Amino acid sequence: MLTVQGLKKSFGKFEAVKGVSFSIEKGESFSLLGPNGAGKSTIINMLTGLYPPTSGEIHIKGIDVIKNSKQAQKMIGVVPQEIALYETLSARENLKFWGRMYDLSGKNLDKSVDEVLEMIGLTDRAKDKVNTFSGGMKRRVNIGAAILHQPEVLIMDEPTVGIDPQSRNHILETVKRLNNEGMTIIYTSHYMEEVEYLCERIGIIDHGELIVCGTLKELRETIGDRSRILVSMEVDRLHNLENMTLLTTLVSEKDILIDANQLTVFHKEPQLILSDLIQLLTKVGTKVTSVEIIEPNLESVFLHLTGRSLRE
């Protein structure tokens, strides 16, 4: 359905996207996962034809997005990160406006608007102005505008940022339903739990580079199903070589990450080394304030590959 090859984008001397390549099958749900500023939105803007790439190729269903952007855009629905609605129009009026942009009209437009309002759970608020809606409700209308023309590919850029849990759950269920009905989904996020719930394959983006791409199972295998031991400390005493050497008596250096007052240790059976780890930290004069064991997840994969958190 979509292929991206050697995609680059520079803004002056700043290289925002650095030679990214991936492909997405028809009906697949694919995520670009990474922290804010990783390059996800820049990639999305190139996929939709809003930004011309500095170099590289993009094809949607065989159509060159760069050379034939208008033809490709007819197959795409886009849910932007920023809400793109007219505040003083009602939900129905907004949907009818965007439907006309997709060349819908008459009974077909009315039918599509009614179906979308039901899908996003706002039929009873259809006549209310958007400026009376909560942030979550506005985002649901935003999604409705993107699916009016029944696109083959739905591209969603951080669609749940800053909304209430109820709206967030409704959006995730809607996306899941659309995908189950055969729509190809491209979903960017820095919320790992959303990606784990929605997506069959995941590409991890950091500093404009695609670090790894695969299924959740394949990504977890990169850390060997190892859990994380998170140790918070009152005073950081672990940056000198002697203390690092002491830690490597328990685990290898590549499985140790230190950031300010937090120590992260990767281990397949954390319970086996936890007591020794705490004793060692106490020995070097470090006061432990909390300890947490986290099972393998996407956050663990990202932290292991980049040395930093998805939230950073």
Going from N- to C-terminal start, the domains of the chain cover 1-75+152-165+173-222, 85-150, 226-295
Q: For residue 141, what pLDDT is reported?
A: 93
Give the contacts of 9 (CB within 8 A, at least 6 positions apart): 15, 16, 17, 39, 42, 43, 46, 51, 53, 54
Say if CB 43 and CB 8 are below 8 A apart: no
Residue 239, classified by CB atoms within 10 Å of its CB into exposed (0-12), middle (13-18) or buried (19+), is exposed
Of all residues in the chain, what percent carry a pLDDT higher than 70? 94
Residue 126: both structure tokens together: 């259809």
Question: What is the residue type of 153?
Answer: V
* DSSP-derived 3-state class of residue 276: helix
Name beta bridge partners: 189. 33
* Integer Cα distance of 207 and 155 in angstroms: 21
- Tens of pLDDT along 163-220? 888 888 888 998 999 999 999 999 988 788 888 889 989 998 889 999 989 988 888 7
CA distance 244 to 293: 21
Q: Please give the Cα distance from 126 to 280 (Å, whole number).
A: 62
**Looking at the DSSP assignment, which residues form a beta bridge with residue 77?**
154
Q: How far is CA 230 from CA 245, 263, 296, in A?
A: 19, 6, 13
How much is the pLDDT for 224?
65
- Which two tokens mark 36? 């804010």
As given in the structure block, the two tokens for residue 216 are 């959740």
Is CATH 3.30.9 the right assignment for the domain spanning 226-295? no
> For 250-308, what is each residue's pLDDT tens digit?
888 878 887 777 888 888 888 888 888 888 888 877 788 889 888 777 777 777 777 66
Banded model confidence at residue 237, pLDDT cuts 50, 70, 90 = low
State if pTM tops 0.85.
Answer: no
Structurally, at CATH architecture level, domain 1-75+152-165+173-222 sits in 3-Layer(aba) Sandwich (3.40)
